[in-house]
Structure 1
Amino acid sequence: MNRSLAIKFGAIALLMLLLLVPLMMIDGLIRERQYLRDGVLEDIARSSSNSQLISGPVLVVPYRQTLREWKTDAKGKRIQETREVSGRLFMLPDRFEVDGKIQTERRARGIYEARLFHANNHISGTFVLPAQLGIDEDFADYRFDEPYLAVGISDIRGIENALTLQLGDRQLEFTPGTQVSWLGDGVHVTLPRVDGRQQQRLDFEFDLTLQGTGQLQVIPVGKTSSVHLAADWPHPSFIGNYLPARREVTEQGFTANWQTSFFSTNLHEAMSSCVDTNRCESFNDRSFGVSLIDPVDQYLKSDRAIKYALLFIALTFAGFFLFEVLKRLAVHPIQYALVGAALALFYLLLLSLSEHLGFGMAYLVSAGACVGLIGFYTCHVLRSLGHGLGFATALAALYGLLYGLLSAEDYALLMGSLLLFSLLGVFMVLTRKLDWYGVGLARTSSRQPVDAEVAHE
């Protein structure tokens, strides 16, 4: 390799390293704007209501038990002592059903928007209380207080309606608080006393209208649970330990149905562990629901785009270098630098415009501006309108391929590999007959007569 070509390669490599500085600054700006956006969304959620988790209803039966113990006094006489202890029985419904209809709403603060939802839930089910409430021994020693129904709601600020329980032919008003520590925040309603000696059936239903942000989840507390959710949001992400048995997603919204049983959830054992240890991770982890995600996250896509920036600049410089060696044109490193600066500023334009126009339109405008500017400049650098337009067309194709890489998340690696292999093949085909030892000597030889004339003088 002659000295001129080595210097050219060195200058291009140094220039690419220097361009990493503005690219890293833009990458830091993307993260800063994303952090600011997340902070605003969290602030909107704090001002309204966060994600919602419905846990319950759980039937709680307080009791007082008389314990009898035989002791021997100092004289060796056996006497019976009694004491009373209190506790609570916890029961899950045999049947649990939720029918929810969700409407979404946008809340904006400055240029940032949060997605809120209003879920109108109709909750119904049945408790089957076994004879003697499942107590096998010494049932006569138990005294039962008024039972109550507890429903856990993760953010009670989102409750939008007055809650009334329909229990058979009775209507009972809910009051704040679950009175059950492991259920967290929520509501409860006091029920009539139950006759524990015989099996009883309690049919219940109530309407719960909830406002929340981002996610709505339900814990399937029934021996058999059926949850139906419908919303006007066409981009759901189904989350939790159980996927819907059936779902349908259209441009107008989605519907989803879940079906579970104690065989699949083992929730009764999880609740028993929760009651004994007051640690309820296993109970709460059995939830499922939907996340109302925004499919266009301009910061995530901008961050992904800038990861390809160095490769993009290298391919553009390679195109410049091809014109230089094949057409025997001299391109100064300053001209490389100006083109590289325009390519770096594309990502700043993309970030700033995407906050106002959306990512797709911002990408089109930013790419069009950069292609137009670089095409105009290369027409003069390459001293040919045809060469400049050809270079601009190739650059536009690269921007199109980059957008394809950003859109095809699952196939990004495959598409990137094929792109690099194809471009390497094009480069090898175009330079297959090039005398690399002679590159750079042509301009030297063209200056020799001038140098000889100067020497003669």
Structure 2
Amino acid sequence: METSQNDIPFYQTTTAKIIMVGLLALFLLIPLSYVQSLITERADRKKEVVQEVTKTWGSDVHIYGPTLRIPYHVYSQTTTLNPATKKEEISQTKSVAYAYFFPEKVDFKTQIKKDNSLKRGLYNVVVFSTDIQAKGTFSTPNFKKLQIDEANVLWNQATILVKTTNLKSSKSNLQLKVNQSDLNFESKENSDKYFDDLESDIFDLSESKTVSFQFQMKYNGSNSVKFVPVGKNTTVSIDSDWQNPSFEGNFSASTTSKSIDENGFHADWSISQVNRPFAQEHAEFLPQLNDYLFGVKLIETVDQYQQNERASKYGFLMIGLTFLIFFLIQTTSKISIHIFQYGMIGLALVLFYTLLISITEHSSFSIAYGIATVAVIGMLFFYTLSILKSKKFSMFIALALAALYAFIYVIIQLENYALLVGSIGLFVILGIVMYFSRKIDWNTKEI
């Protein structure tokens, strides 16, 4: 005989069961949050390892230059009062200042090759080696724009200056060809906290005021390769075997020649003087131009910890939908499932994420996801078989969980369409639940 909902204790009613299952689902957010904290901790540890390795191997490779530096005499007058004659005396002092000129044309050709050989513990640190070849010309320096008298210019003491980061990881001999002469670069003390200075040997511009130059720089580096567009015409060409570049800076690469495929990428930039808001000539000091750096950042689109973090964010959804499936089976089949059994099922679903992150650190995310999915579904299949005593229901639950895990895996792999696919998928799931629960009489059905 069917018992009325009013004739049974409240704790045995459908409403009470729903409340208890809901509270249990909320309680399982606590271990799920610990799992997410574990993922964050492991990701932070990887960042620390990457920083340690790149500190010794090499960091960002940024180039500011080359710049022609020419000294000139500056005269200043000082007026003093002679105590003996009580008359003012004027004395003249001479000092040296510097004028800086950017090139008429500079062309950078860059090869970037990734290096997967570095490993620290569990972590493979992806770094690269780069070969930068530069050539170009300086036109006759225009001192009139700087209001400097050419009679005071020390033409025979010109040098070429290149500002660069990551100098400690340079692997080239730092030689420079100026016109027909071979010169050397030397590192200099510099107050600039961002760039290091390389200055060439002194050369003479007394006879020929124009300069052609070329040099090569090789670095071990990581993260990015960027340039400041110092030339009236600056061209940059970058080739690499890296599949995931991010082009950054105030200047975009040419859309006609840019290409990205599974073998790497190629990109070209062409920037003229009218594209950037700074002059070709500067007196006394060089301006800070860090904001005008452009080039490429070599990125990992989604690393293993980002994928694990994204997967864990769907943990509550997995728990809620799995509990809903069990609750509907319990409601429609009159099979009693104890709240403790719901707890065991929920903990198995949480354990999926600890399995996932631990296996991922020794394998790929896809393999780890497959192993963790099979392990958890297998455990729940045999557990539900023992408590439901029905192979049909156990197979249904296993297939439903497999579909949910597959759905979440697809969302994790997507980038641009993750929100769209996720929204459509949840809409379809809600429709399925509404369809199968449409005939349940919630008012009189006893569980």
Whether the 8 Å CA contact 1:152–1:183 is kept in 2: the answer is no
Matched, 1:263 2:274: yes
- Aligned partner of 2:110 in structure 1 is 100
Any conservation in 1 of the 2:175–2:182 contact (CA below 8 Å)?
Answer: yes
Aligned residues: CA RMSD: 2.6
Structure-1 separation of matches of 2:164 and 2:148: 36
1:192-224 Cα offsets, whole Å, 9 max, x none, are: 2223xx882211001111111121111121111
Structure 1 residues 122 and 414: CA distance shift in structure 2, 3 A: same
TM-score by length of 1: 0.88
Distance in 1 (CA, whole Å) between partners of 2:75 and 2:154 is: 8
Whole-angstrom distance in 2 between the partners of 1:433 and 1:116: 60
Structure 1 residues 141, 73: CA separation in 2 closer, same or farther (over 3 Å shift)? farther
CA contact (8 A) 2:146 2:282 kept: no
Counterpart in 2 of 1:209? 218
CA distance in 1, matches of 2:300, 2:399: 33
- Which secondary structure does the structure 1 equivalent of 2:362 belong to? helix
Provide the rounded CA distance (Å) in 2 between the counterparts of 1:143 and 1:82.
19
Alignment partner of 1:289 is 2:295: yes
Aligned to 1:55: 64
Structure 1 CA distance for aligned equivalents of residues 273 and 380 of structure 2: 65
Distance 2:371 2:198 in 1: 52
Where 2:125 maps in the other structure, the secondary structure is strand
1:16 and 1:410 mapped to 2: Cα distance? 30
Q: Does the C-alpha gap of structure 1 residues 180 and 36 become closer, same or farther in structure 2, counting only changes over 3 Å?
A: closer
Which residue in the other structure is 1:451 paired with?
none
Tell me the equivalent position of 1:44.
Answer: 53
Mapped to 2, the partners of 1:37 and 1:356 lie a distance apart of 14
Aligned to 2:342, the other structure's residue is in SS state helix
> Which residues in structure 2 correspond to 1:406-417 (within 5 Å)?
406-417=412-423
Q: Does 1:357 align with 2:367?
A: no
Task: Select which of 334, 337, 348 maps to 1:331.
Answer: 337
1:371 and 2:371 correspond = no
Deviation at 1:154, TM superposition (A): 0.8
Q: 2:124: which partner in 1?
A: 113
Tell whether the 8 Å contact from 2:161 to 2:197 is kept in structure 1 after alignment: yes
> Which stretch has the larger CA shift, 66-75 or 198-207?
66-75
| Alpha-carbon distance in 1 for matches of 2:217, 2:113 | 14
Equivalence for 2:407 = 401
Residues in 1 aligned to 2:152 and 2:263: alpha-carbon distance in whole angstroms: 59
- 1:335 Cα deviation after fit: 1.4
Q: Which residue of 2 aligns with 1:176?
A: 187
Q: Which runs of 5+ in 1 are unaligned?
A: 444-457
Shift of 1:181: 4.2
**Separation in 2 of the partners of 1:157 and 1:300?**
32
SS of the aligned residue for 2:139 comes to strand
Which piece of structure 1 moves more, 81-90 or 309-318?
Answer: 81-90
Separation in 1, partners of 2:192, 2:158: 16
Aligned to 2:99: 89
1-side partners of 2:398 and 2:251: how far apart?
Answer: 51
Deviation at 1:297, TM superposition (A): 0.8
1:421 maps to: 427
1:66 Cα deviation (Å)? Answer: 2.8
For 2:141, the equivalent position in structure 1 comes to: 130
Map 1:244-263 → 2, pairs under 5 A: 244-245=253-254, 246-263=257-274
Aligned partner of residue 328 in structure 2, secondary structure: helix
Q: Distance in 1 between matches of 2:140 and 2:193?
A: 22
Q: Distance in 2 between matches of 1:141 and 1:241?
A: 38
Q: 2:14 aligns to what? A: 5
Deviation per CA, 1:346-378, whole angstroms, max 9, x where unpaired? 000111111111111111111111112112222
Question: Which residue identity is paired with 1:148?
Answer: T
Report the structure, 1 or 2, having the larger helix content.
Answer: 1
Checking the alignment, whether the CA contact within 8 Å between 2:176 and 2:183 is kept in structure 1 is: yes
TM-score by length of 2: 0.90
Deviation of residue 418 (structure 1)? Answer: 1.9
- 1:89-141: CA deviations, max 9, x gaps? 01111101100111111210111111121111111111112355645464434
3-state SS of 2:252 partner: coil
Three-state SS of the structure 2 residue aligned to 1:357 is coil
Query: Which of 328, 346, 367 in structure 1 is aligned with 2:352?
Result: 346
Change (3 A) 1:185 1:228: same
Flag the structure with more relative contact order, 1 or 2, with Cα contacts below 8 A and sequence separation at least 6: 2
Query: Given that residues 70 and 153 in structure 2 are in contact (C-alpha distance below 8 angstroms), is that contact kept between their aligned partners in structure 1?
Result: no
What is the DSSP-based 3-state SS (H/G/I as helix, E as strand, rest coil) of the residue aligned with 1:233? Answer: coil
Q: What amino acid is aligned across from residue 430 of structure 1 in structure 2?
A: F
Residues 98 and 283 of structure 2 are in contact (CA less than 8 Å); yes or no, is this contact kept in structure 1?
A: no
Residue in 1 that maps onto 2:231:
222
Going from structure 1 to structure 2, the CA distance change for 1:119 and 1:138 (only over 3 Å counts) comes to closer
Deviation at 1:145, TM superposition (A): 5.7
TM superposition shift of 1:388 = 0.9
Q: Classify 1:214/1:182 alpha carbon distance in 2 versus 1 (closer, same or farther; 3 Å).
A: closer
2: CA distance between counterparts of 1:97 and 1:303? 43
- Which SS does the other structure have where 1:302 is aligned? helix
SS at match of 1:437: coil
Distance 1:71 1:338 in 2: 94
Q: Is the 8 A contact 1:128 1:199 kept in 2?
A: no
Residue segments in structure 2 that go unaligned for 5+ positions in a row: none
